[in-house]
Amino acid sequence: MRQYTGLDKLINSFDQALRSLVPGATSAQRGNPADHEPSQLCVSDARHVAGLMRVNHSGEVCAQALYHGQALTAKLPHVREEMQQAAIEEQDHLAWCEERLKELDSHTSLLNPIWYGLSYGMGAIAGIAGDKYSLGFVAETERQVSQHLQDHIQQLPEHDERSRKILVQMNEDELHHRDTALNAGGVDLPVPVRITMTAISKLMTKTSYYL
């Protein structure tokens, strides 16, 4: 098996960042769960749904960065592999959200590079702290993402089945990732860490809705 040098890892990290941040650079491995679902929205509904989908897209950018950062510093090979596999599955979410935003004649968040950088650093630090904390970080992140998704599902216009099916599938995947992290040995994070994560999440949610 090839041993990657520090330069190899740096190039790979840069490639992962580009794939997460550049529109159209990521493609889904699974079919869009909303395929063949019609969705005709009025201007105000379309604007609101676009804001919600932009927030969710930014959340997936954060998830990509989190997993990439943790995979870089994870100590156990099987944990590193789990992080990399989760990141691959999250790419579907990125592609689905981006596709829906295009349909709504909208755009991804201009702040995504900032969210990626913050999340990458947090993921790397969590990996350095130890695999049980790294996995606990994943579990807490996925729990908070699931809460946002469930709230957004409730906010969707009743007739927007296209967006709803995307968010429902995303929520199922996030809960699966949370359970996988806990079953692999993840532990509850200290309260101050959870509070900080919640504060950053709220900031991302409020700003990405508009920008």
Residue ranges of alpha helices (H) inside the chain are 6-21, 43-73, 77-103, 112-129, 131-155, 161-183, 191-208
Asked whether residue 103 is marked as a ligand-binding residue, the answer is: no
Q: State both tokens at 20.
A: 């997460």
Asked whether residue 36 is marked as a ligand-binding residue, the answer is: no
Asked whether residue 177 is marked as a ligand-binding residue, the answer is: yes
Asked whether residue 172 is marked as a ligand-binding residue, the answer is: no
Q: State both tokens at 47.
A: 């604007």
- CA–CA distance, 207 with 7 (Å, rounded to integer): 35
CA distance readout (Å), 24 to 19, 28, 31, 110, 201? 8, 11, 16, 15, 25
Greatest distance between any 2 Cα atoms in the chain: 55
Asked whether residue 140 is marked as a ligand-binding residue, the answer is: no
Asked whether residue 99 is marked as a ligand-binding residue, the answer is: no
- CA–CA distance, 20 with 63 (Å, rounded to integer): 10
**Could you tell me which residues are annotated as the binding site for Fe cation?**
60, 90, 93, 142, 174, 177
**Could you tell me which residues are annotated as the binding site?**
60, 90, 93, 142, 174, 177
